[in-house]
């Protein structure tokens, strides 16, 4: 795998950390700007909504940009947003910084994924997607703990300034290390959005929303869930969340390898079966620290193995990959945004213990949609071609 792809993953880590780090600095923001923790928490909402709206819009507006220039501009925009957050002395200005940073991330991630897969044959695209998303995975693993640790010594302004510097450094690295890649041939807006009207594409986007909704509605409330099922709290929960993060790294890597070897739909089938089984039994297995560690690790592996085959499936479906990947990124953040709402409603009405069974039901719906797609003749042909490329992976 080319070192250039790992550079793209580093950029994904920078913009992903910008998204996740806010959870670790919420107390500092609340204290310094004299706002409630609830208000400070809306910084995450502002980022998510801006990303969801910005990803397809920016993909369309920048469709004719030279690809390296687009990556540099996106990283610099993310750096600017974090710099604004670093110097913000008022809550509204901090919100502006989060919106700008989100737009940079929304422009970068789909473009980096498309850039990474553009140089590779179909038999290696799954791993390339996994490497780029590996940057986001490490951001999840390290972002929140780093925000908590560095926030105490640097303050939230120092944390955002540090992220701005990292994003700017990766922009310089992209300029120096990556080749120019001209934009694809001009297409009309009608042609660009043709893929969106494809029912297969719509099905995949629904799968993304439901899949993210299922896992995040549990993950967001995993702390009270573990307290309820295993009476765990404090430092033990922190260690368990780190175990979850390690599972995410492994799952993302396995998802990419499996996609290249067995095809997108086969990988999604196994992934969703594993997800449903693990999450449906989470309240039964996570009854002590050891059981919770195993359950969270395995759950995370199946959860994060979901991204590479989904991204690759969209690339297989249509030539307008940039817009489709951007729409899928929006679907991810839409699912994440809905998860907090759905999870809160379920907890208020039925209690936190019902979240895993509901997530399992959502997983079953996604699995059903996978089987619907597997009946599509065109995708069956693609899966057959991918299977024929297996020997090329012997290295």
- Computed on alpha carbons and rounded to an integer, the radius of gyration of the chain in Å comes to 20
Q: CA-CA distance, 313 to 240, in Å (whole number)?
A: 32
Q: What is residue 379's predicted lDDT score, i.e. its pLDDT?
A: 60
Taking the whole predicted model, whether its pTM rises above 0.85 is answered as no
Question: How does DSSP classify residue 375?
Answer: T
Residue 89's Cβ-count burial label (10 Å; 0-12, 13-18, 19+) is exposed
Q: What is residue 36's predicted lDDT score, i.e. its pLDDT?
A: 81
Q: CA-CA distance, 164 to 97, in Å (whole number)?
A: 11
Per-position pLDDT tens, the chain of length 395: 577 888 998 999 999 888 777 766 777 788 888 888 667 777 877 888 888 888 888 888 887 788 899 999 999 999 999 999 999 989 999 999 999 999 999 899 888 888 887 767 777 777 777 788 778 777 777 766 666 667 667 888 998 999 999 999 999 999 999 888 876 655 545 555 556 677 888 899 999 999 999 988 888 788 788 888 888 877 787 788 788 888 988 998 899 899 989 999 999 999 999 999 999 999 899 999 999 999 999 999 999 999 889 988 887 776 555 677 778 888 887 887 788 788 888 888 888 899 999 999 999 999 999 999 988 766 655 554 444 443 332 22
Q: What is residue 194's predicted lDDT score, i.e. its pLDDT?
A: 58
Q: What is residue 336's predicted lDDT score, i.e. its pLDDT?
A: 78
Q: CA-CA distance, 372 to 238, in Å (whole number)?
A: 39
Q: What is residue 277's predicted lDDT score, i.e. its pLDDT?
A: 96
Q: What is residue 74's predicted lDDT score, i.e. its pLDDT?
A: 96
Please state the separation of Cα 377 from the chain's center in Å: 29
Q: What is residue 223's predicted lDDT score, i.e. its pLDDT?
A: 78
Which tokens sit at 151? 């926030």
Q: CA-CA distance, 255 to 258, in Å (whole number)?
A: 5
Q: What is residue 168's predicted lDDT score, i.e. its pLDDT?
A: 96
Burial 57-77 (b: 16+ CB within 10 A, else e): ebbeebbebebbebbbbbbbb
Q: CA-CA distance, 121 to 127, in Å (whole number)?
A: 11
Q: CA-CA distance, 103 to 74, in Å (whole number)?
A: 8
Which residue blocks in the chain are alpha helix, DSSP H?
3-20, 22-33, 37-61, 67-87, 91-118, 125-177, 189-192, 199-219, 222-230, 235-262, 264-280, 282-285, 289-304, 307-317, 321-350, 355-374, 377-388
């Amino acid at each position: 795998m080319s070192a250039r792809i790992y550079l793209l993953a580093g950029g994904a880590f920078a913009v992903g950390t910008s998204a996740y780090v806010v959870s670790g600095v919420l107390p500092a923001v609340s204290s310094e700007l004299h706002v409630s923790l609830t208000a400070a928490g809306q910084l995450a909402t502002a980022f998510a909504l801006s990303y969801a709206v910005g990803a397809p819009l920016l993909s369309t507006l920048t469709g004719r940009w030279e690809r390296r220039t687009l990556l540099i501009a996106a990283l610099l925009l993310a750096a600017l947003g974090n710099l604004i957050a670093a110097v913000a002395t008022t809550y509204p200005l901090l919100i502006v910084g989060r919106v700008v940073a989100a737009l940079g991330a929304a422009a970068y991630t789909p473009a980096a994924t498309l850039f990474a897969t553009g140089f590779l044959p179909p038999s290696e695209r799954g791993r390339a997607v996994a490497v780029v998303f590996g940057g986001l995975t490490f951001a999840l693993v390290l972002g929140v703990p780093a925000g908590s640790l560095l926030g105490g010594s640097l303050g939230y302004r120092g944390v955002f300034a540090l992220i701005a510097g990292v994003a700017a450094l990766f922009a310089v690295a992209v300029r120096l290390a990556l080749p120019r890649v001209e934009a694809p041939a001009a297409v009309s807006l009608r042609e660009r959005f043709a893929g969106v009207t494809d029912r297969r594409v719509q099905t995949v986007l629904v799968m993304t929303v439901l899949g993210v909704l299922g896992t995040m509605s549990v993950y967001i409330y995993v702390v009270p869930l573990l307290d309820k099922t295993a009476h765990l709290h404090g430092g033990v929960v922190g260690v368990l969340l780190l175990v979850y993060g390690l599972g995410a790294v492994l799952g993302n890597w396995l998802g990419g390898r499996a996609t290249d070897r067995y095809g997108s739909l086969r990988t999604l089938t196994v992934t969703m079966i594993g997800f449903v089984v693990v999450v449906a039994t989470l309240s039964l297995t996570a009854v002590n620290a050891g059981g919770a560690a195993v359950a969270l690790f395995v759950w995370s592996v199946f959860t994060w193995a979901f991204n590479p085959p989904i991204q690759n499936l969209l690339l297989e479906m249509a030539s307008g990959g940039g817009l489709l990947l951007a729409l899928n990124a929006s679907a991810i953040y839409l699912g994440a945004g809905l998860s907090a709402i759905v999870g809160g409603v379920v907890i208020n009405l039925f209690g936190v213990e019902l979240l895993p069974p509901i997530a399992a039901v959502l997983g079953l719906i996604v699995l059903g949609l996978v089987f619907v797609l597997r009946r599509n003749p065109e995708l069956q042909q693609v899966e057959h071609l991918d299977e024929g490329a297996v020997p090329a992976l012997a290295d």
